[in-house]
């Protein structure tokens, strides 16, 4: 499958987005995770409402309903600038709803979004412009939830193991998906994330259909944008997490040739949250011991870990 760049469409504005998030968090006296959404909404003077089927709901102003009919796909969140009101789809997972609130706050905080939306609704923008705006709002939301450099301070230069992903997500009040994606984006070591969905084969066993993958710049520069096939078959190591008797986390080593035609030893760890699978991919460290600790994860002392090939934990 083809990996997408974590920083795609953001080369020109990432520094401005970071600065805007920092100003907002400082103004709201937010210094430790998780980020309190209510403070951000109060700061911007925004009220909220959760409804089902936003794109068909008659409670919306007529102009918004009319415009939404022209948008393909499900509408999950709406910012009404005039009413200072945010609508979010009530049927979404709580973590997804939280992310969408931060996403809609981004449209209000980022000056070039706000200024344009006053005269041109988001759904009236050209598709390529809308894609950039959506990517920028997603980046703002991630930086708001993970408080800009907070995660990077603890994880940059240190490989995140799948067994630590849930605790890291709990620190920020975020989903496994959002946490893994932000980790990859902020990591300066080569790192990639592949998200999959289990599906049953004709033989009755589960395989994993790969939905999408993202990688950071360090990974793409070293290995390019191709990784894995479209499916992890039932007999593959990652598929063990979705089949009876499998381990909750599976680690597998494999060889991958980089763009300089040098063979690198890689490690892929797969975890399953009951809905999707997440496979984190790194270059295997040349050393056999790693030291480090994460804040509020219950480890204040260094821990040595021995690595083995093809283990399941």
* CATH placement of domain 156-283: 3.30.450.130
The helix (run of H) or strand (run of E) holding residue 150 is: helix 150-155
> Going along 172-299, which residue ranges are E strands?
191-200, 206-215, 231-232, 249-257, 263-272, 277-283
Closest CA to 3 of 153, 222, 175: 222
Q: Are 291 and 302 in contact (CB under 8 A)?
A: yes
Write down the domain spans for the chain: 3-145, 156-283
State the Cα–Cα distance between residues 96 and 136, nearest whole angstrom.
Answer: 17
Q: Are 241 and 219 in contact (CB under 8 A)?
A: no
Architecture of domain 3-145: Orthogonal Bundle (1.10)
Closest CA to 122 of 74, 81, 90: 81
- pLDDT (tens, 9 = 90+) of the chain, 313 residues, equals 999 999 877 888 999 999 999 999 999 999 999 999 999 999 999 999 887 756 555 556 666 655 555 555 566 888 888 889 998 989 999 999 999 999 999 999 999 888 776 545 555 556 777 788 899 999 999 999 999 999 999 899 999 999 999 999 999 999 999 999 999 999 999 999 999 999 999 999 999 999 999 999 999 999 999 999 999 999 999 999 999 888 899 999 999 999 999 999 999 999 999 999 999 999 998 644 444 445 544 433 333 333 333 434 3
State the Cα–Cα distance between residues 240 and 271, nearest whole angstrom.
Answer: 10
């Amino acid at each position: 499958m083809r990996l997408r760049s974590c920083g795609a469409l953001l080369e020109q504005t990432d520094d401005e987005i970071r600065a805007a998030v920092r100003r907002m968090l400082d103004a709201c006296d937010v210094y430790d995770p998780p980020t309190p959404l209510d403070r951000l909404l109060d700061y911007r003077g925004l009220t909220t409402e959760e409804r089902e089927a936003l794109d068909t709901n008659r409670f919306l102003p007529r102009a918004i309903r009319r415009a939404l009919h022209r948008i393909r796909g499900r509408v999950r969140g709406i910012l009404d600038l005039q009413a200072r009101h945010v609508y979010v789809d009530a049927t979404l997972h709580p973590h997804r709803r939280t992310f969408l609130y931060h996403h809609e706050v981004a449209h209000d905080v980022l000056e070039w979004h706000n200024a344009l939306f006053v005269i041109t609704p988001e759904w009236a923008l050209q598709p390529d412009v809308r894609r950039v705006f959506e990517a920028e709002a997603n980046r703002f939301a991630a930086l708001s939830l993970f408080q800009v450099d907070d995660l990077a301070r603890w994880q940059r230069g240190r490989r995140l193991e799948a067994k630590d992903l849930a605790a890291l997500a709990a620190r920020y009040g975020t989903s496994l998906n959002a946490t893994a994606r932000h980790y990859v984006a902020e990591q300066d070591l080569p790192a990639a994330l592949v998200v999959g969905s289990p599906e049953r084969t004709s033989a009755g066993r589960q395989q994993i259909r790969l939905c999408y993958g993202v990688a950071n710049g360090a990974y793409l520069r070293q290995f390019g944008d191709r990784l894995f096939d479209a499916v992890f078959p039932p007999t593959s190591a990652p598929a063990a997490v979705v089949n009876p008797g499998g381990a909750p986390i599976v680690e597998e080593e494999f060889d991958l040739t980089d763009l300089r035609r040098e063979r690198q030893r890689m490690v892929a760890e797969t975890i399953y949250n009951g809905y999707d699978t997440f496979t984190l991919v790194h270059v295997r460290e040349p050393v056999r011991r790693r030291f480090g600790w994460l804040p509020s994860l219950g480890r204040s002392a260094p821990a040595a870990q021995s690595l083995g090939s093809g283990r399941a934990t």
